[in-house]
């Protein structure tokens, strides 16, 4: 099954490019560490999911690029073409001239309706090229104007036009200390709207990835490209083919569906966090060895203690005593309760790994069976030069604090009515803001009371 | 890509404008080696086919044939404009972009606004329409003028009004040079306050500039260069006040100061013209820096003022650039933002600077700055990969800060001194359309503005405690 990617705004397009690059370089690599047959199967599955063939033989990404100003798209298209290994369809993009001015209302209420037809036509064309459409993957940031506002509008249109398809939104959360002054407004508006039409939101926070670049990747002068490449690696580790049905089954034919099924049992809980270990500079890979038990132990503790990366984990945090019926209010405060977790393992000796520790009922909220709350996907085919790689996609309280912080700051600004005139002039009124705040307070409350 | 049109009004406006076009050409020449007319160039220049005598359609792609500035040059006396069109920039303008008269405005706002405004209104509208027609997607009008005289101040603000009426969707950024206390035009307070009312009501963003600040910066640079303290030589074309490498051959007295303002405009528009990892367009500036419609006065600072010829710039130098941007002597008005209240701040970085450098410096400088309570992390950032000529990196800071208040308060005081005695009032009141109420409304508008800044200073922008969040029934 194929996934159509929609890249929205500067962030969406810049990351999208890195993702396709990472996927392509992974399948071209010779470091699969598995049988030739397995490798070919992986290769074909990835190609089917993300690329389509052209006469020239160069794989063409199944993507639609959207932005309200031309510079980023033209850069993205040319960078891809220059790689020689893959490219975008030269017609599959839509841009305008003026940009959205970091104004969510401009993106949503003005650009959205104005360009709906043109954009949806491009999406339709990509969807038709797929033998079987597995769903949509949209990429955007929530701080700006286009990715956030137009992105929310486009997600709604996708939901209306393809009611039976899965929609996964990749949302980038901005640095806490300002990239854009009105980022908190834009974020609140985006998240509340996406919650209505999307199936799940897969989140990356700039602050977290920045730390990974600084402390794990040892990059001195971190650029957005570095940040995007780490994000692309993490996304690749989720979306590259895996066996979801245990050893011997073929590669999953419905990646988005499988993801939703395992992780989003209830529409009130759609926020997914992502952790991937190990992460290190490429030139250190050859000198490092990891054991699965070690990796699994770290990953589990990262989940429990809500650690953002494998350094600085708080090992003191423990789940509450199993077996005792503890009401949720007295759980240790910094223990991260999960609804559902998905662990994806790639690489050497993957099928013998014991993941029992993730099925501990005390990790989870009480309304799901731990067997149902936890899934594991494995593949012996190593990913992106890492001999062993483990990813965790988690529907848990991972994002509770950051979300609460964003809503708090936005509310503080809203109380002083600052910048509201910029939104009202494009049709987003104070009542609309209030609705969005209400939606998100509801989400925060739900996650808090797990 | 969008286009912008520059409207330069009056002597000051045209002199600054002239420097802008000169330095813009220099900047594009440095970047655009192949002589291809690209989108970056098209933001400020048209490409004309000279073979058809300049009346044919514009050339949108391909080699540069003849570049014409997207500009309107307006002055009610001919001297300055004539000099421009006879000087080295003559090919960049054509006669259809000029509006001149002979006798000037006599340093009288009313003459500029009411008499010439009325007289030239149709002419101006027609020429503006023409310029707009040549633009594929017109995003912004830049007005350059001074506040203290008659033409720039009076006719300049008349044009501002016109732009709002005729092109309501297009942004209006105004660069206004405010008079100093020792200004030799006696009526400059009247002219400035009358113009302020127009800026309050019709401009999207105003970048106030004070001659004193420009003068101090020029002196500082000259001192540094002459004292030999710098050790190695300064790259001539990197100095923010220099015209080196441009078309100009003779330096005139105000050139150094005007070059600073020209560089300000170039840096402001750099992210809209060139690529970068975090673009900052002109509409984003207005969106992020103007929290309430009337508080649209932005204090600007440019760093570095010059670059040494040493190629290797240790990151300590980079951090120094950020520190300097917040110091009193780099601001383009007499103000000290560090000791006043920030409503919002934008950092536009050009050149080889990455997001980690930006973050590090914001973290470092934040504790020493006071931000309003509802915008504690009020930073807007932009990264443009193309540095200005002669530099490896540069920083433009735009701050919406209550430190503009003293400039306005002093203006009001100077105005009141004259107004109480009704000095020179008859020169204004005898103009058709001028009444006493024009004056009282103008000073009232200024007083209200000052009061808004006072409010903010007093309350630091809001309730001390965080407003309570919405409660959800569980």
Could A69 and B279 be called an inter-chain contact, meaning their C-beta atoms sit closer than 8 Å? yes
pLDDT of residue B126: 95
pLDDT of amino acid B467:
74
pLDDT digits (tens, 9 = 90+) for B428-440: 999 988 999 999 9
Give the DSSP H/E element, type plus range, for residue A256.
helix A255-263
Backbone angles phi, psi at A271, to 5 degrees: -90, 120
Which CATH number characterizes residue B449's domain? 1.10.287.600
- With helix as H, strand as E and coil as C, how does B120-189 read? HHHHHHHHHHHHHHCCCCEEEEEEEEECCCCHHHHHHHHHHHHHHHHCCCCEEEEEEEECCCCCCCCCHH
Cα separation, B107 vs B78, in Å, equals: 15
Report residue B313's pLDDT band, with 50, 70 and 90 as the boundaries. very low
Please indicate, yes or no, if residue B261 is contained in any of the structural domains.
no
Do the beta carbons of residue A100 and residue A150 sit within 8 Å? yes
Average pLDDT (A159-168) is 95
Q: Chain A partners of B341 at a C-beta cutoff of 8 Å?
A: none
Residues of A in contact with B376 (CB under 8 A): 409
Rounded mean pLDDT, B307-319: 58
Residue B32 banded pLDDT, cuts 50, 70, 90: confident
Q: Which helix (H) or strand (E) holds A48?
A: helix A36-50
Read off the pLDDT band of B38 (50, 70, 90). confident
In chain B, positions 356-375, which contact chain A (CB-CB < 8 Å)? Answer: 356-357, 359, 362-363, 366, 373-375
Contact assessment for residue A391 and residue A237, using Cβ atoms and an 8 Å cutoff:
yes
DSSP state of A386: B
> Phi and psi of A200, rounded to 5°?
-160, 150
**Cα–Cα distances in angstroms (integers) from residue B354 to residues A102, A222, B277, in the given order:** 21, 6, 9
B4 confidence band (pLDDT: 50, 70, 90):
very high
pLDDT at B288: 94
pLDDT-derived band at A368, boundaries 50, 70, 90: confident
Homologous superfamily of the A2-272 domain (CATH):
Tubulin/FtsZ, GTPase domain (3.40.50.1440)
Burial class (CB in 10 A: 0-12, 13-18, 19+), A435: middle
Q: How many angstroms away from the CA of A280 is the closest CA of chain B? A: 18
Residues 6+ apart with CB under 8 A from B86: none
Q: What is the pLDDT of residue B308?
A: 54
Cβ neighbours of residue A304 closer than 8 Å, sequence gap 6 or more = A317, A318, A319, A335, A336, A363
pLDDT of residue B203: 95
Q: Is A70 on the interface with B (CB under 8 A)?
A: yes
Q: Give pLDDT, residue B218.
A: 86
In this predicted structure, the answer to whether residue A342 has a pLDDT above a threshold of 90 is yes
Whether A418 and B39 lie within 8 Å, measured CB to CB: no
A445 interfaces chain B, CB cutoff of 8 Å: yes
Cβ contact (<8 Å) for B281 and A227?
no
Share of residues in chain A with pLDDT > 70 (%):
96
In a domain, B398, yes or no: no
- Mean pLDDT, chain B, as a whole number? 87
DSSP B297: B
Closest CA to B49 of B60, B36, B38, B34: B60
ipTM value for the complex: 0.86
8 Å CB contact of A223 and B467: no
Q: Tell me the pLDDT tens digit for each residue of B325-375.
A: 999 989 999 999 999 999 999 999 999 898 888 989 999 999 999 999 888
Chain A within 8 Å of B379 (Cβ-Cβ)? yes
Residue B97 is classified by DSSP as G
Q: Cα–Cα distance between B172 and B348 in angstroms, integer?
A: 20
Is A443 near chain B, with CB under 8 Å? no
H-helix or E-strand spanning residue B112: none
Residues in Cβ contact with A267 at an 8 Å cutoff, skipping those fewer than 6 apart: none
Looking at 1.10.3470, 3.10.450, 1.20.144, 3.30.1330, the CATH number of the domain A282-399 comes to: 3.30.1330
Q: How far apart are CA B334 and CA B404, in angstroms?
A: 8
| pLDDT class of B474 with cuts at 50, 70, 90 | low
Chain A CB within 8 Å of residue B4 CB: no
Task: List all residues 6 or more positions away from A164 whose beta carbon is below 8 Å from its beta carbon.
Answer: none
In this model, does residue A450 exceed pLDDT 90? no
**Tens digits of residue pLDDT in B370-413:** 999 888 888 999 999 999 888 888 999 999 999 999 999 999 99
Q: Does A175 touch chain B (CB under 8 A)?
A: yes
Q: Within a domain: residue B376?
A: no
What's the pLDDT score for residue B60? 73
Mean confidence (pLDDT) of chain A: 90
Q: Closest Cα to residue B104, out of B112, B96, B93? A: B112
Is A180's CB within 8 Å of B467's CB?
no
Q: What pLDDT shows up at residue A340?
A: 93
- Inside any domain, residue B414: yes
Highest mean pLDDT among A151-160, B210-219, B234-243, B310-319: A151-160
* pTM passes above 0.95: no
The verdict on a CB contact (< 8 Å) between B374 and A415 is yes
CB contact, 8 Å: B382 with chain A?
no
Residues B59-110 have pLDDT tens digits of 777 788 888 999 999 999 888 899 888 888 888 998 889 999 988 888 999 9
Number of domains in chain B: 1
CB of B277 within 8 Å of a chain A CB? The answer is: yes
Size of interface A-B (CB pairs under 8 A): 146
The answer for B 242-271 residues in CB contact with A (under 8 A) is: none
pLDDT confidence bin for B236, thresholds 50/70/90: low
Residues in A 379-438 with any Cβ partner in B closer than 8 A: 407-409, 411-413, 415-419, 421-422, 437-438
Per-residue pLDDT for B314 more than 70?
no
Domain definitions of chain A by residue range: 2-272, 282-399, 401-449
Q: What is the least distance, in Å, from the CA of A364 to any CA of chain B?
A: 20
pLDDT reported for residue B165:
95
Q: Domain for residue B285, yes or no?
A: no
A449 touches chain B (CB under 8 A): yes
B98-100, strands of its sheet edge to edge: B98-100, B71-75, B3-9, B138-146, B171-178, B205-210
């Amino acid at each position: 099954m194929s996934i159509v990617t929609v890249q929205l705004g500067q962030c969406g397009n810049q990351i999208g490019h890195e993702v396709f690059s990472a996927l392509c370089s992974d399948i071209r690599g010779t470091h699969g560490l598995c049988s030739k047959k397995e490798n070919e199967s992986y290769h074909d599955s990835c190609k089917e999911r993300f690329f389509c063939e052209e006469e020239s033989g160069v794989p063409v990404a199944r993507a639609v690029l959207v932005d309200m100003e031309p510079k980023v798209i033209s850069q993205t298209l040319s960078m891809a073409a220059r790689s020689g290994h893959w490219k975008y369809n030269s017609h599959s993009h839509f841009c305008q001239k003026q940009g959205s001015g970091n104004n969510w209302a401009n993106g949503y209420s003005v650009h959205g309706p104005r360009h709906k037809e043109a954009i949806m036509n491009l999406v339709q064309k990509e969807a038709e090229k797929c033998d079987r459409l597995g769903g949509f993957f949209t990429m955007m940031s929530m701080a700006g104007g286009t990715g956030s506002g137009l992105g929310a509008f486009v997600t709604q249109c996708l939901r209306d036009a393809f009611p039976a398809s899965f929609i996964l939104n990749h949302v980038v959360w901005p640095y806490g200390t300002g990239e854009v002054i009105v980022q908190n407004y834009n974020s609140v508006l985006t998240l509340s709207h996406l919650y209505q039409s999307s199936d799940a939101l897969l989140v990356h926070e700039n602050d977290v990835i920045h730390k990974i670049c600084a402390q794990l990747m040892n990059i001195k002068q971190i650029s957005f490209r570095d940040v995007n490449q780490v994000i692309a690696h993490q996304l690749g580790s989720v979306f590259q083919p895996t066996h979801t049905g245990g050893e011997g089954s073929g590669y999953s034919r419905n990646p988005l569906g499988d993801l939703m099924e395992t992780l989003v049992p209830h529409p009130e809980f759609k926020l997914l966090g992502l952790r991937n270990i190990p992460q290190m500079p490429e030139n250190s890979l050859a000198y490092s060895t990891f054991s699965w038990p070690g990796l699994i132990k770290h990953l589990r503790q990262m989940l429990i203690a809500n650690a953002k990366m494998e350094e600085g984990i708080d090992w003191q945090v423990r789940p509450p005593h199993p077996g005792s019926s503890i009401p949720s209010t007295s759980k240790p405060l910094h223990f991260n309760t999960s609804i559902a977790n998905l662990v994806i393992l790639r690489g050497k000796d993957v099928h013998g790994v014991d993941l029992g520790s993730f099925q501990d009922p005390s990790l989870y909220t009480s309304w799901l069976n731990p067997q149902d709350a936890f899934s594991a996907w494995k593949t012996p085919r190593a990913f992106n030069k890492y001999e062993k790689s483990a990813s965790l996609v988690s529907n848990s309280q991972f994002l509770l604090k950051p979300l609460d912080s964003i809503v708090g700051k936005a509310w503080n600004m809203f109380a002083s009515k600052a910048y509201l005139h910029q939104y009202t002039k494009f049709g987003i009124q104070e009542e609309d803001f209030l609705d969005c705040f209400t939606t998100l307070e509801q989400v925060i409350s739900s996650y808090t009371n797990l | 890509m969008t286009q912008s049109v520059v409207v330069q009004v009056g002597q000051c406006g045209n002199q600054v404008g002239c420097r802008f076009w000169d330095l813009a050409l220099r900047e594009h020449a440095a970047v655009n080696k192949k002589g291809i007319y690209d989108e970056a160039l098209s933001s400020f220049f048209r490409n004309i086919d000279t073979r058809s005598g300049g009346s044919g359609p514009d050339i949108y792609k391909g080699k540069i044939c003849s570049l014409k500035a997207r500009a309107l040059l307006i002055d009610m006396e001919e001297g300055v404009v004539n000099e421009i069109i006879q000087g080295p920039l003559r090919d960049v303008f054509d006669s259809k972009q000029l509006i001149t008269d002979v006798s000037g405005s006599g340093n009288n706002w009313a003459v500029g606004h009411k008499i010439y405004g009325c007289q030239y209104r149709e002419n101006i509208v027609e020429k503006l329409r023409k310029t707009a027609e040549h633009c594929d997607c017109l995003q912004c009008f830049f007005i350059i003028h001074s506040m203290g005289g008659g033409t720039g101040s009076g006719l300049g603000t008349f044009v501002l009004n016109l732009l709002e009426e005729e092109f309501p969707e297009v942004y209006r950024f105004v660069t206004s040079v405010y008079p100093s206390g020792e200004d030799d035009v006696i009526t400059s307070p009247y002219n400035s306050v009358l113009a302020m009312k127009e800026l309050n009501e019709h401009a999207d963003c105003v970048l106030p500039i004070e001659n004193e600040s420009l003068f101090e910066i020029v002196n500082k640079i000259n001192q540094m260069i002459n004292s030999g303290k710098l050790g190695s030589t300064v790259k001539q074309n990197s100095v923010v006040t220099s015209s080196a490498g441009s078309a100009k051959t003779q330096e005139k007295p105000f050139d150094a100061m005007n070059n600073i303002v020209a560089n300000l405009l170039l840096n402001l528009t750099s992210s809209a013209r060139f690529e970068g990892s975090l673009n900052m367009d002109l509409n984003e500036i207005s969106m992020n820096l103007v929290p309430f419609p009337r508080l649209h006065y932005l204090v600007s600072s440019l760093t570095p003022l010059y670059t040494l010829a040493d190629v290797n710039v240790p990151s300590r130098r980079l951090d120094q650039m950020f520190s300097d941007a917040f110091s009193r002597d780099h601001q383009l008005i007499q103000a000290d933002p560090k000791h006043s209240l920030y409503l919002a701040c934008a950092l536009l970085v050009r050149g080889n600077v990455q997001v980690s450098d930006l973050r590090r410096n914001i973290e470092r400088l934040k504790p020493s700055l006071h931000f309003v309570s509802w915008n504690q992390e009020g930073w807007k950032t932009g990264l443009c990969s193309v540095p200005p000529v002669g530099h490896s990196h540069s920083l433009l800071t735009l701050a919406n800060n209550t430190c503009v208040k003293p400039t306005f308060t002093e203006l009001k005081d100077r105005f009141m001194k004259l107004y109480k005695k009704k000095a020179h009032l008859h020169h204004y009141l005898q103009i058709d359309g001028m009444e006493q109420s024009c004056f009282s409304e103008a000073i009232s508008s200024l007083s209200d503005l000052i009061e808004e800044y006072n409010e903010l200073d007093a309350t630091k922008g809001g309730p001390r405690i965080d407003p309570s969040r919405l409660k959800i029934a569980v």
